[in-house]
Structure 1
Amino acid sequence: MKFIVWLIRVLVFVLLLVLALANTQPATLNFLAGYAWDAPLILIGLAFFVVGLLAGLVSAVPAMLRLRMENGRLKRELRAAREVSPVKEEPPMPPLI
């Protein structure tokens, strides 16, 4: 199974590499206020990919911190519950007929 996963990864990498090498023509990206950026098309695509990746990571940080805090709280509660002496339960009374 690992072989198939690695084979798929290599195929995707090769496909993306061929796509990158086929898109080396220059392109102009126009920004507001008259700014422009002349760069190969694949470099512009890579820049947008990196910006999107960073935005996704930054947006995931609050949820990750909240989950870590909850995990710590639950571990403390579990530790406290284990330290409490267990209450001995008596067996239930048999039914009266």
Structure 2
Amino acid sequence: MHIFVWLFRAFIFFSLFAFALNNQQPAAVNWFFGHAWTAPMVIIVLCAFAGGTAFGVLAMAPSWWRQRRRVRQQLATGTAQQPGTTSSSSPSETPATPPLPDVV
């Protein structure tokens, strides 16, 4: 199975490498007020991808922080359920588990 994962990774790498080699011609990005940025097309695509990824991570950060805070509060009060348990089971039926470490 590991050989297939490495073959898939190699395929992705060589596909992206071929894309980069085929898109080295200069391209211009025209900004406002007549400003233009000229760079190889692959650099422009890479910058657009990196900017979109950064925007997506920053847009999701408040939700992640809110969820982490909620889980930390539930763990502190002891109201969090362990995975695989249901709320209808009585406390005597559930096995004793050590407390989970605090999430930083």
TM-score by length of 2: 0.71
Displaced runs of 4 or more, over 4 A: none
Q: How big is the shift at 1:55?
A: 0.4
Higher radius of gyration, 1 or 2 = 1
Partner Cα distance (2:5, 2:65) in 1: 31
Partner Cα distance (1:24, 1:55) in 2: 26
Amino acid across the alignment from 1:31: W
**1:57-68 to 2 correspondences below 5 Å:** 57-68=57-68
- Identify unmatched segments of 5+ residues in structure 2: 80-104
- Identify unmatched segments of 5+ residues in structure 1: 80-97
Q: How big is the shift at 1:56?
A: 0.9
Question: % of aligned pairs identical?
Answer: 34
Partner Cα distance (1:2, 1:75) in 2: 37
Partner Cα distance (2:73, 2:14) in 1: 46
Residues 39-94 of structure 1 show CA distances to partners (whole Å, capped at 9, x for unaligned) of 10001001101101110111111011011101101101218xxxxxxxxxxxxxxx
Q: Which residue of 2 aligns with 1:55?
A: 55
> Which secondary structure does the structure 2 equivalent of 1:24 belong to?
coil
Q: Which residue of 1 aligns with 2:74?
A: 74
